[in-house]
């Protein structure tokens, strides 16, 4: 099946949970889901076919934990390529041409400095290797799911493109708490701003309580232009008799669909605790919605969304960047001083030579305000943008060529004032 441009196919309905449904069908807790599914292919096929029968037009490959990092604790890293190929083949078999197949990329268990020891480019390569296998196995689009850190989302998108998947739609979903923060403290709005800048097709939330999804998606809708994704769990799980029980039945779950649609959701689905009955109920609810009737959100063109690794920030075209900070041994202290003692709304950091890139990459996590990156060398500017786990802007004072700026805007979301 040839890839279908996602913009021509909205709204979309993805499938529901895989892990919790396989557990109902005999999979023990704590095992490698991917290996168990391959050992019991008939169980996976039955579940996925049930989702297609329920109305899903996107099936997600059960490969969320099928990167080398996630397979490592099971001693299965060397099975990454084989598992991804076989699981994608099973999902395509279940789809039978009636649904698109989304290649699922999930958390790796790795973190970049200072939170971990994996260099960012190694994280990019880790995702690129899995994406290349999924691509060759025939996925129609990609789903970067359960994002817990900004670096995961950025590395996955860059990895997909490095693998040659830039022509496929890329969906990104985060997990967050009641306040809209991922487990590493990133505001999901910041992640949405970065993903929009990098050209992700759609963005949303997964594995969250439906009420949290509605609240946070409503907030995201005010500041983004992407289609949003609602992939909540079936309520907040509680333990009963040694097993997790999810409180939201299919009808209660689907009653939220009109509110999600009003909040900009155009891609629906379910996560933990949802089953084919939930997907059928969502399909029925979607059929009663006139998606064209929702008015667009009116946004102030002079309010420009930026983001640091953790925070969403908003600037205007005449933003004051303060004194230029040069990269040196005291970069972190200078960043903290600029933000705490002389706040002006934004920082400007200059990248003047190759060594500056390494210094900036090591300390960029300290930036919380909007960031103006400055360099008159295109290669240095790109290296700094690649290392920065946020969405930066450029004030036009370095006289970089227009074609260079266009490429940096397209690939890294650079905002050009």
Per-residue pLDDT of 34-76, as tens digits, reads: 999 999 999 999 999 999 999 999 999 999 999 999 999 999 9
- CATH of 6-293 among 3.65.10.10, 3.20.20.330, 3.30.1360.70, 3.40.50.620: 3.20.20.330
DSSP H or E run through 416: strand 415-416
Chain segment 112-161, per-residue pLDDT in tens: 999 999 999 999 999 999 999 999 999 999 999 999 999 999 999 999 99
Domain 6-293 and domain 304-416 have a common topology:
yes
Chain segment 213-229, per-residue pLDDT in tens: 999 999 999 999 999 99
pLDDT at 242 over 90: no
3-state secondary structure of 317: coil
Question: pTM for this one?
Answer: 0.95
pLDDT tier at 5, thresholds 50, 70, 90: very low
- Specify the CATH superfamily of domain 304-416: Dihydropteroate synthase-like (3.20.20.20)
Q: What secondary structure letter does DSSP report for 73?
A: G
pLDDT of residue 239: 79
pLDDT tier at 8, thresholds 50, 70, 90: very low
Q: How far apart are CA 330 and CA 332, in angstroms?
A: 6
Residues in contact with 51: Cβ distance below 8 Å, sequence separation at least 6, in sequence order: 15, 16, 59, 99, 276, 279
Q: What percent of the chain has pLDDT over 90?
A: 89
Q: Where are the domains of the chain?
A: 6-293, 304-416
């Amino acid at each position: 099946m040839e890839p279908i441009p996602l913009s021509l196919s909205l709204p979309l309905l993805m499938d529901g949970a895989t892990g919790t449904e396989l557990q109902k069908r005999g999979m023990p807790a704590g095992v490698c889901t991917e290996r168990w599914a391959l050992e019991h292919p008939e169980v996976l096929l039955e579940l996925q076919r049930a989702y297609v029968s329920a109305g899903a037009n996107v099936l997600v490959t059960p490969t969320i934990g099928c990167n080398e990092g996630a397979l490592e604790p099971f001693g299965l890293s060397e099975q990454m390529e084989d598992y991804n190929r076989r699981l994608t083949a099973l999902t395509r078999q279940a789809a039978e041409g009636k649904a698109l197949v989304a290649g699922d990329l999930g958390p790796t268990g790795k973190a970049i400095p200072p939170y971990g020891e994996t260099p960012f480019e190694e994280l990019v390569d880790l995702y690129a290797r899995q994406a290349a296998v999924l691509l060759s196995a025939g996925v129609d689009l990609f789903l970067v799911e359960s994002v817990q850190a900004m670096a995961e989302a950025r590395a996955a998108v860059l990895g997909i493109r490095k693998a040659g998947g830039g022509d496929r739609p890329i969906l990104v979903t985060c997990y967050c708490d009641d306040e809209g923060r991922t487990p590493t403290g990133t505001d999901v709005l910041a992640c949405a701003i970065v993903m929009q800048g990098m050209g992700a097709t759609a963005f949303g939330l997964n594995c969250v309580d439906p009420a949290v999804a509605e609240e946070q998606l409503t907030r995201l809708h005010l500041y983004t232009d992407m289609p949003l994704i609602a992939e909540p769990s079936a309520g907040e799980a509680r333990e009963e008799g040694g097993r997790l029980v999810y409180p939201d039945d299919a009808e209660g779950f689907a009653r939220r669909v009109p509110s999600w649609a009003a909040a900009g959701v155009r891609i629906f689905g379910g996560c933990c605790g949802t089953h084919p009955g939930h997907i059928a109920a969502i399909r029925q609810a979607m059929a009663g919605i006139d998606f064209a009737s929702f008015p667009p959100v009116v946004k102030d063109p002079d309010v420009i969304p930026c983001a640091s690794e953790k925070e969403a920030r908003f600037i205007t075209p005449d933003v004051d960047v303060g004194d230029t900070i040069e990269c040196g041994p005291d970069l972190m202290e200078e960043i903290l001083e600029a933000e705490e003692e002389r706040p002006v709304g934004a920082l400007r950091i200059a990248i003047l030579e190759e060594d500056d890139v390494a210094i900036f990459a090591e300390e960029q996590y300290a930036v919380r305000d909007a960031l103006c990156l400055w360099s008159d060398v295109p290669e240095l500017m790109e290296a700094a943008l690649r290392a920065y786990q946020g969405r930066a802007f450029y004030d036009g004072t370095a006289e970089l060529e227009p074609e260079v700026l266009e490429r940096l805007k397209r690939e890294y979301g650079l905002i050009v004032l």
